[in-house]
Chain A
Amino acid sequence: MDITEKLLRVNFSTDETPHIKVNTSICDTTCSMKVCLNICPAERFTLESEKLRFVVDGCLECGACRISCDTGAVTWSYPRGGAGVRFRLG
Chain B
Amino acid sequence: MSNKFDVIIVGAGLAGIAAAIEIAREGLAVCIIERAIIPGEKNVTGGVLFSSVLDDFIPDWKNEAPIERWVAKKGLGMVSEKSLSLMQFEVEKELEDKKAFTVNRNAFDSWFAQKAEEAGATLLTNTLVEDLIIEEGFVKGVKTHHSDGYLEADIVICADGVNSLLAKKAGLRKRDVLPKEIGLGIKEIVSLPVNTINERFGIRENEGCAYEFVGNFLNGVFGGAFLYTNRDTLSIGVVVNLGSVGDTSTNARSILENFKNQPQIKKLIEGASLVEYSAHLVPEIGLDMVPDLYGNGILVAGDAAGFVVNNGFSIQGMNYAIASGIEAGKTAVEAIRTGDVSTKQLASYKTKIDKSFVGKNLKKYRKTHKVLGNPRMGNQYPAVMEGIAKKLFGFDDEIQPNIAEAVKSTIRGNNVSTWQLMKDGFDVWRYM
Contact = CB atoms under 8 A, between A and B. Distances in A.
The yes or no verdict on A and B being binding partners is yes
B106 A87 contact: yes
A80 B281 contact: no
A63 B184 CA distance: 9
19 contacts: A6-B274, A9-B276, A13-B37, A33-B249, A38-B246, A39-B242, A41-B186, A41-B253, A60-B278, A61-B42, A62-B279, A68-B179, A78-B163, A82-B35, A85-B41, A87-B44, A87-B276, A88-B276, A89-B104
Interface centre among A66, A84, A85, A90 (most CB of B within 10 A): A90
Contacts of A6: 188, 274, 277
Interface in A66-88: 66-68, 77-82, 84-88
Interface in B150-184: 162-163, 165, 176-179, 182, 184
B40 interface: yes
Interface string A1-32: 10101110110010000000000000000000
A68 B176 CA distance: 11
Interface in A43-67: 43, 60-64, 66-67
Given A9-B275, A38-B252, A68 B233 contact: no
Interface centre among A1, A7, A62, A64 (most CB of B within 10 A): A64
B278 A87 contact: yes
A1 B274 contact: yes
Interface centre among B177, B184, B279 (most CB of A within 10 A): B279
Contacts of B106: 87-90
B45 A90 contact: yes
A59 B184 CA distance: 14
Contacts of A7: 277
Interface of B: 35-38, 40-45, 104-107, 125-128, 144-146, 162-163, 165, 176-179, 182, 184, 186, 188-189, 233, 242, 245-246, 249-253, 274-281
Contacts of A41: 184, 186, 252-253, 279
Given A9-B277, A41-B252, 16 more contacts: A10-B276, A33-B249, A41-B253, A42-B279, A60-B277, A63-B163, A63-B281, A64-B242, A67-B281, A81-B127, A81-B128, A84-B42, A86-B37, A87-B43, A87-B44, A90-B104
Given A41-B186, A81-B126, A68 B242 contact: yes
Ranked nearest first, the 5 interchain pairs of A and B with the lowest CB-CB distance are: A90-B105, A41-B279, A82-B126, A6-B277, A81-B128
Interface of A: 1, 3, 5-7, 9-10, 13, 33, 35, 37-39, 41-43, 60-64, 66-68, 77-82, 84-90
Contacts of B38: 86
B276 A85 contact: no
B277 to A, nearest CB: 4
Contacts of B186: 41
A78 B275 CA distance: 25
A89 B42 contact: no
B271 to A, nearest CB: 14
Given A7-B277, A10-B276, A38-B245, A89 B105 contact: yes
A17 to B, nearest CB: 11
Contacts of A10: 276-278
Contacts of B146: 81
Contacts of A39: 184, 242, 245-246, 252
Interface centre among A6, A10, A89 (most CB of B within 10 A): A89
A9 B253 contact: no
Given A9-B276, A80-B128, A89 B233 contact: yes
A64 to B, nearest CB: 5
Interface centre among A41, A43, A79, A81 (most CB of B within 10 A): A81
A89 B228 CA distance: 14
A24 B125 CA distance: 34
A3 B253 CA distance: 9
Contacts of A90: 40-45, 104-106, 276, 278
B278 to A, nearest CB: 6
Contact of B189 (A13, A62, A86, A89): A89
B252 A89 contact: no
Given A7-B277, A62-B184, A68-B242, A87 B252 contact: no
